[in-house]
C-alpha cells in the first residue's frame, strides 16, 4: 500500500481507520486480506500518538461489544483494506465484566 501511494496510485487511503479482533491462529502472510476468523469488526481508534518513526494506536472495546472468549488475532484497516494482521501471543481471554484496551505500535525502520 505504501509503494502504491508513493507511486501516485490513490486507490487506498493510508489512514488507519479501524481494527478487528478474532480467533484465527494461522500465521499472518503478505497475502492476507482480512482476519482468519473475525469476531468483532469496525473497532474505532480511541487515541493515537506519533513520532517520526512510530505510530501508537489505542483501541477501546467495551464489555458489551466483545463476547467472552479467547482471542488470538488482531488486524488494522485503512478503510476496507487490511493494513496489518498480527497474532495475539499469548492469547487474550476476555471474561464477563471486562472492558478491553489494545495498544498497537507501527514502527518504521531503515
47 sits in which H/E element: strand 38-50
**Residue spans per domain, the chain:** 15-107
What's the CA dihedral at 49, 52, 53, 59 to 10 degrees?
10
What pLDDT, in 10s, does the model give residues 10-48? Answer: 877 889 999 999 999 999 999 999 999 999 999 999 999
What pLDDT, in 10s, does the model give residues 58-109? Answer: 999 999 999 999 999 999 999 999 999 999 999 999 999 999 999 999 998 8
pLDDT band at 2 (very low <50, low <70, confident <90, very high): confident
Q: What is the pTM for the complete model shown?
A: 0.90
Amino acid at each position: 500500500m505504501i509503494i502504491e501511494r508513493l507511486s501516485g496510485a490513490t486507490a487506498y487511503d493510508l489512514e488507519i481507520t479501524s481494527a478487528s479482533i478474532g480467533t484465527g491462529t494461522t500465521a499472518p502472510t503478505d497475502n492476507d486480506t482480512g482476519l482468519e476468523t473475525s469476531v468483532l469488526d469496525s473497532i474505532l481508534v480511541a487515541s493515537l500518538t506519533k513520532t517520526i518513526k512510530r505510530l501508537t494506536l489505542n483501541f477501546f472495546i467495551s464489555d458489551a461489544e466483545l463476547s467472552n472468549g479467547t482471542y488470538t488475532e488482531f488486524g488494522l484497516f485503512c478503510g476496507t483494506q487490511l493494513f496489518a494482521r498480527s497474532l495475539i501471543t499469548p492469547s487474550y481471554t476476555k471474561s464477563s465484566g471486562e472492558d478491553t484496551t489494545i495498544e498497537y505500535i507501527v514502527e518504521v525502520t531503515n
